[in-house]
Each structure stands twice: as C-alpha cells, then as structure tokens.
C-alpha cells in the first residue's frame, strides 16, 4: 500500500470492488445453467447485486482520487488490462460444479458480511454509508447460501463429498484477504479481527453441515497483483463488446 | 432437472404488499422443503419493494372448487365430519384475469366442509375459484426476518426497459455500421 492515505484507501476499495466484479462475472456464467429455474433466477440476482456493490466501491475510490463517479467505474471495468485487476484469486477460478460455485459464493458472502460489519464503523463517513447500504443485500445472500451449504452438506453422500471437495480446494484461497500484514488506516478494518470474525462466522455452519475446515492456515497467494491464467480469458470476454463499440454508453 | 418426473414439489406463493393488505397469489415455485419454498418465493417474486410477508403452500394441500363445478355438481360431499374443527384459510379468485386473494378464515372439520363454508361465507362477493388451505399447511415468513428478506429490495430502484435506451443505442450502432434492421 502507498503511504498516501487517500491513495491507499482507493487501492483497497478497488481491490474489494474487483472481488465483487469478477465473482459477479463468474456467477453470471451460470445463467441458464443453474440446477433449477428458481435457483437460476436467484443466482443471477446475486450476481447483479455483487456487480452493483463493485460499482459502489469504484465510485468511492473515484471520489478519493477526484475522478468522475459517472465514468470512473466503466473505465476500471472496461479499460484495464488483466494484470491491473486487484481481485483475490478465489473469485477468478472457473466455476467447476454447482458445489464449487455455491461454496465459493458462501465463503465470499461470509467474508463480505463481516467486512461490511466492520466498514459500517469506519470513521470515513462515505465509506460507512456505502457499507450500510450494501449490507442488507449481503445479509440476504448469506442467508441464501447458508441454506444451500446446509442442505448439500447434510444431503447425500455425494453432495456432502462434493461440498467437502469444494471447501478443500477453495479454503486456502479464501484466506488471501487476511494474508497481508494489515493496514494502518483507521478508515479500514483491522485484518486480524476480521479474520477472527470470519472464522467465527463460518465454523458453526460448516460443522453443522458435516463439513470439515482444512487445517491449512495460510493462503498460497498473498498479493492482489498475482493472478491465475484464468483471469485474462475472463477479462477478454467481459470487455469484448465494450472494446468493439467504444462509443456505446453503458 | 431434465425430465418432468424428477421435478421438485410445487408450492403456491402468496405475497402481501402492506400490513393491512390481503395475501395475494403470486404464482408458484418448485422446492424440496418449506424453507426452500419461501426462499425461492422471495427470489422469484420479490424484486420490487412492495412485500412485507410471504406464504407458501404445497400445491397438493390446496382444496379447490370452481364456480362451474359448483353449478354442475353442487358442493363436494363431506365424508368425514367427525374430525375436530380446525382453521382453514380461504382464498378467492373473483375475476378471470385476477389472482387468488386471501378473504378470511373459517373453522371446519374437513376440506369439503371448509369449501362449503367458504362458498356460503364468501360466495356473495362473486367467485370463480375458491381455495381452502388448512392453516397448519401454510408456511409463513417470520416477521422478525423482514429486514433480511425484504429490506434489500427497498433500496433498489425499479427501472423499466426504456430507462436504458438500448433500442436507440442499437439503432445508432447499426446505422453506423450500415447494418439493416
């Protein structure tokens, strides 16, 4: 992080905005393919919500840097190169099976819920206000994904196994947001207490759902500048139309 | 779900637009259990900020009588009148284009008796289809959950398609590229 507070907070906001955006894109790939029509609608709705959250974080980041709230989010989404995105790797991984996507959404929702709870307390009012606005949607996402984790964890031997496989694969990646040494800005949440809150959020549900948290304690990747080879393909698809029709307004 | 025989059970959904409004049928959802029924009901039907409560009922728990059946066959026969009286909720469809709306509750000892009482009590308002549902068959959202279920819809602006000017935009792009409509 930079030593300039505004710049550092803007970088933080772009990071969490990118998490939301890239996850929204992956979730949207389920549209028309989810296991049942009702869930197809629900998951597409969640994807739209996450995209809305990304836009809200981008606007705030723009505000800090004197950028236009109108055009800055579009610039971030459509004009950056893949290596300029700052999302955690968990959200860029391909969808896998339904258990994988669902478990990822759950791990993300639980993370976002505890993060928002901390951000609501931020001493920078615009950040606290945005977090308060987003929070009800995230509480609903969490409610939705928790019900599915419980259902599939306690369902059949196969559904439990698929969920366990998904958790084993995703859990180390889910630790990435906690792998930095923290930040010194009072506007942003403390990483250590965030990690504790997140563990406290996920432990009871996963135990109740017969799913075991892997013993790994560290993320395989730390920096938000590092990405898998899956991200460039995703970005190319996401930006394809915008690059073809540069005059179009979105 | 790839074939009809693996389809999950169907629930009828009723939503309430305000504390003093009746629950009105919104449509149906498929679900494996009551919890999922309410969840799916919320996801499918509550996109606009006008819902304070949802009810869901397994479609097979709804006892139905149409005005035509009533005229042709009269009231259904009550076979077992010896059971204890219980509460049935009554829903009435009044017009062909309308939805079933909740009109009240009655006490009856069987579904057939409940339908007879529903027609007697709510027939004068004119009816096309009566539904009666044992009160215990209805699963309801918890008033304490209003925030987590419905609050997010409150802050969402509802925009009609025309807001996005997509048609105009596409026409302009096509013109630019010389693509005929």
The span from the CA of B61 to the CA of A8, in Å, is 58
- The phi, psi pair for B114, rounded to 5°, reads -65, -40
Range A200-207, long-range pairs (CB < 8 A, 24+ positions):
A201/A110, A201/A113, A201/A114, A202/A107, A202/A110, A205/A146, A205/A149, A205/A150, A206/A149, A206/A153, A206/A167
Count of H-run helices and E-run strands, chain B: 6, 8
pLDDT tens readout for residues B24-67: 999 999 999 998 999 999 989 887 667 899 999 999 999 999 99
SS3 B117: helix
pLDDT tens readout for residues A47-98: 999 999 999 999 999 999 999 988 999 999 999 999 999 999 999 999 999 9
A19 neighbors A37 (Cβ within 8 angstroms): no
This model of the complex carries an ipTM of 0.79
β partners of residue B55: B14, B140
At A96, list the tokens: 């896998």
User: Per-domain residue ranges for chain A?
Assistant: 5-244
User: Per-domain residue ranges for chain B?
Assistant: 4-177
Confidence at B1, pLDDT banded by 50, 70, 90: very low
SS3 B159: coil
B26 neighbors B15 (Cβ within 8 angstroms): yes
Residue of B nearest to A34 (CA): B1
Q: Is the pLDDT of residue B76 over 90?
A: no
- Average pLDDT of the residues of chain B: 86
**Contact residues on chain B for A27, CB-CB shorter than 8 A:** none
CB contact under 8 A, A136 and B155: yes
| DSSP H or E segment with residue B118 | helix B111-122
Q: Is the pLDDT of residue B21 over 70?
A: yes
A8 neighbors A2 (Cβ within 8 angstroms): yes
Of A219, A163, A160, nearest to A191 by C-alpha is A219
SS3 A33: coil
| DSSP H or E segment with residue A139 | helix A125-153
- Taking the CA of residue B64 and the nearest CA in chain A, the distance in Å comes to 25
Compute the residue count for chain B: 181
Q: Is the pLDDT of residue A101 over 80?
A: yes
Q: Which of B4, B7, B42, B43 to probe the A interface (max A CBs under 10 A)?
A: B43
β partners of residue B176: none
Q: What is the mean pLDDT of residues B9-35?
A: 93
At A100, list the tokens: 């994988």
Q: Is the pLDDT of residue A184 over 80?
A: no
The span from the CA of A159 to the CA of A146, in Å, is 15
pLDDT tens readout for residues A206-220: 999 999 999 998 888
The span from the CA of A238 to the CA of B59, in Å, is 42
Q: Is B9 exposed, middle or buried (0-12, 13-18, 19+ CB in 10 A)?
A: middle
At B113, list the tokens: 């008796």
Greater pLDDT, A83 or A242: A83
Greater pLDDT, B158 or A38: A38
CB contact under 8 A, A36 and B8: yes
Point out the residue among A39, A140, A247 whose CB comes nearest to the CB of B148. Answer: A140
The span from the CA of B20 to the CA of B40, in Å, is 24
pLDDT at residue B123, rounded to an integer: 72
Greater pLDDT, A83 or A190: A83
CB contact under 8 A, A136 and B1: no
Residue of B nearest to A246 (CA): B173
Cα A84 to the center of its chain, rounded Å:
17
Between A37-64 and A5-28, two packed helices, what is the crossing angle to 10 degrees?
Answer: 160
A162 neighbors A97 (Cβ within 8 angstroms): yes
Q: What is the mean pLDDT of residues B137-148?
A: 87
A240 neighbors A232 (Cβ within 8 angstroms): no
- Average pLDDT of the residues of chain A: 92
**Contact residues on chain B for A38, CB-CB shorter than 8 A:** 29-31, 40, 43-44
pLDDT at residue A213, rounded to an integer: 97
Q: What is the mean pLDDT of residues A126-143?
A: 92
pLDDT at residue B78, rounded to an integer: 72
Greater pLDDT, B48 or B98: B98
Of B114, B58, B117, B60, nearest to B83 by C-alpha is B114
CATH of A5-244, one of 3.40.50.920, 1.20.1260.10, 2.10.240.10, 3.40.190.170: 1.20.1260.10
Q: What is the mean pLDDT of residues A120-147?
A: 93
At B28, list the tokens: 């149906």
Exposed e or buried b for every residue in B122-154, given b needs 16+ CB within 10 A? beeeebebbbbbbeebbbebeeebeebbbbbbe
At B117, list the tokens: 């009482």
Q: Is the pLDDT of residue B80 over 70?
A: no
The span from the CA of A226 to the CA of A169, in Å, is 18
CB contact under 8 A, B39 and A36: no
Q: Is the pLDDT of residue A201 over 80?
A: yes
């Amino acid at each position: 992080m930079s030593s300039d507070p505004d710049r550092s907070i803007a970088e933080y906001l772009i990071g969490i905005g990118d998490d939301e955006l890239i996850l929204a894109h992956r979730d949207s790939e389920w549209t028309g393919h989810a296991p049942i029509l009702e869930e197809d609608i629900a998951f597409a709705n969640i994807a739209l919500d996450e995209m809305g959250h990304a836009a809200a974080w981008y606007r705030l980041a723009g505000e800090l840097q004197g950028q236009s709230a109108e055009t800055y989010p579009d610039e971030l989404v459509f004009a950056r190169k893949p290596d300029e995105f700052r999302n955690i790797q968990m959200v860029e991984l391909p969808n896998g099976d339904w258990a994988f996507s669902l478990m990822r959404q759950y791990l993300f929702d639980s993370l976002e819920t505890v993060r928002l709870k901390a951000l609501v307390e931020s001493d920078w009012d615009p950040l606290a206000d945005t977090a308060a606005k987003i929070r009800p949607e995230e509480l609903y996402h969490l409610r939705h994904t928790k019900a599915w984790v419980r259902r599939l964890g306690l369902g059949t031997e196969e559904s439990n196994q698929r969920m366990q496989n998904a958790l084993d694969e995703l859990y180390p990646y889910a630790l990435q947001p906690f792998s930095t040494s923290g930040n010194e800005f009072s506007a942003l949440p403390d990483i250590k207490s965030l990690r504790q809150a997140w563990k406290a959020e996920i432990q009871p549900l996963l135990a109740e759902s017969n799913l075991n948290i892997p013993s790994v304690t560290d993320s395989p990747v730390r920096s938000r500048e590092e990405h898998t080879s899956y991200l460039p393909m995703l970005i190319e698809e996401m930006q394809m139309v915008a690059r073809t029709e540069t005059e179009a307004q979105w | 779900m790839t074939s009809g025989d693996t389809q999950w059970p169907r629930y009828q959904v009723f939503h309430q637009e305000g504390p003093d409004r009746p629950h009105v049928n919104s449509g149906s959802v498929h679900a494996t259990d009551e919890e999922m029924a309410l969840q799916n009901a919320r996801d499918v039907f509550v996109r606009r900020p006008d819902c304070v409560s949802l009810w869901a009922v397994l479609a097979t728990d709804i006892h139905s009588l149409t005005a035509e059946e009533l005229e042709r066959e009269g009231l259904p026969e009550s076979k077992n009148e010896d059971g204890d009286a219980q509460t049935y909720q009554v829903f009435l469809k009044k017009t062909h284009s309308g939805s079933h709306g909740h009109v009240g509750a009655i006490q009856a000892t069987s579904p057939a008796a409940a339908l007879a009482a529903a027609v007697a009590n709510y027939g004068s308002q004119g009816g096309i289809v009566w539904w009666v549902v044992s009160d215990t068959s209805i699963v309801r959202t918890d008033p304490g959950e209003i925030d987590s279920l419905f609050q997010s819809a409150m802050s969402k602006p509802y925009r009609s398609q025309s807001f996005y000017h997509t048609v105009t935009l596409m026409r302009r792009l096509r013109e630019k590229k010389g693509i005929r409509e």
